[in-house]
Structure 1
């Protein structure tokens, strides 16, 4: 009789220990698993779209082309100065962007940004380039935008030559709701 009560007490103690460990793990991991902001900052991609169009933060994006160049030239055939170190390639992403209802157009322009990504997790920011045939930012006085009317814009990136075969597309994101969309060519 005494052995049976010890065995049942041991079962209860082991059960309580397992329950406490489970609750402890849940309390420790729950903030980690449900922290959308941190997960977004670590590079989570929420949606993948082939070329688009996709609307993110009241801007409709459509990827027209993603091409690599050794140098850029303007309309007159003159080389455009791009800050590119030796062994790098210039990648140009051409977009059709359409400002939609909810976006504030300041002086007929707006802020837009797309980042180039590869399959190894590398991310490149665009560079401002003047003299290119397309505007390289959405707030260009020479190329004003109108609400609900498509306009062309190019984003210029400088990447190592070895990364070009691994490029997967560009990401656009909504910082407020933590949404990142990968647009593939």
Structure 2
């Protein structure tokens, strides 16, 4: 066997081995890298929007403000009593939400969940602050919503004081199509 023949055979064998290793790695990792539902459950953010507006699940969202407070005041200027551990901070997010065609309005209300998120992937659900001047959920009888008409809503979150510098925005999501959007202030 001559040198050229050996070299070409070595090249072919090496190429075949690299191709087979690549196929093996792809076969092993493909289920993990492409499983949309698992990635969604792990907290994947699909889109980042600065303030908005962004439409998710037939609701148009716009973040008007997001600020941290030591107390949340009612219409009379008195502190609203919320069940919060010592050392907690209240984060108040004010949003403009617009129900769009395709959303079902039940008694002029609908579900509008938005979670507070920090840079480490931690999330907090909002809490009801009865007596706040704005509605704290989108099903308030005193503040009915109308299709294609913007309305204001306030979201109140109770978080440890230490995470306030790491807060990055609110996440809104559509579970059915596995889409999560981060709205930053």
Name the counterpart of 1:60. Answer: 60
In 2, the alpha carbon distance for the partners of 1:122 and 1:172 equals 14
Residue 144 (structure 1) aligned with residue 144 (structure 2): yes
In 1, the alpha carbon distance for the partners of 2:6 and 2:107 equals 81
In 2, the alpha carbon distance for the partners of 1:155 and 1:83 equals 15
Name the counterpart of 2:37. Answer: 37
The worse-fitting range, judged by mean Cα deviation, of 35-44 and 93-102 is: 35-44
In 2, the alpha carbon distance for the partners of 1:65 and 1:2 equals 76
Give, in angstroms, the shift of residue 17 of structure 1: 3.9
The two structures have a TM-score, normalised by structure 2, of: 0.90
Equivalent runs, 1:1-185 vs 2, <5 Å: 1=1, 15-185=15-185
Task: Report Cα offsets for 1:136-182 as digits up to 9, x if no partner.
Answer: 11011111110001111111101111111221111111112221111
For the residue of structure 1 that corresponds to 2:30, the secondary structure is helix
For the residue of structure 1 that corresponds to 2:66, the secondary structure is strand
Give, in angstroms, the shift of residue 13 of structure 1: 5.4
Task: Report Cα offsets for 1:39-84 as digits up to 9, x if no partner.
Answer: 1222221211111111111101111110111111211223211111
For the residue of structure 2 that corresponds to 1:38, the secondary structure is helix
Structure 1 alignment gaps of length 5 or more: none
Structure 2 alignment gaps of length 5 or more: none
The worse-fitting range, judged by mean Cα deviation, of 6-15 and 174-183 is: 6-15
In 2, the alpha carbon distance for the partners of 1:161 and 1:72 equals 15
The worse-fitting range, judged by mean Cα deviation, of 91-100 and 12-21 is: 12-21
The two structures have a TM-score, normalised by structure 1, of: 0.90
In 2, the alpha carbon distance for the partners of 1:66 and 1:47 equals 19
- What is the root-mean-square deviation of aligned Cα atoms in Å? 1.9
For the residue of structure 1 that corresponds to 2:137, the secondary structure is coil
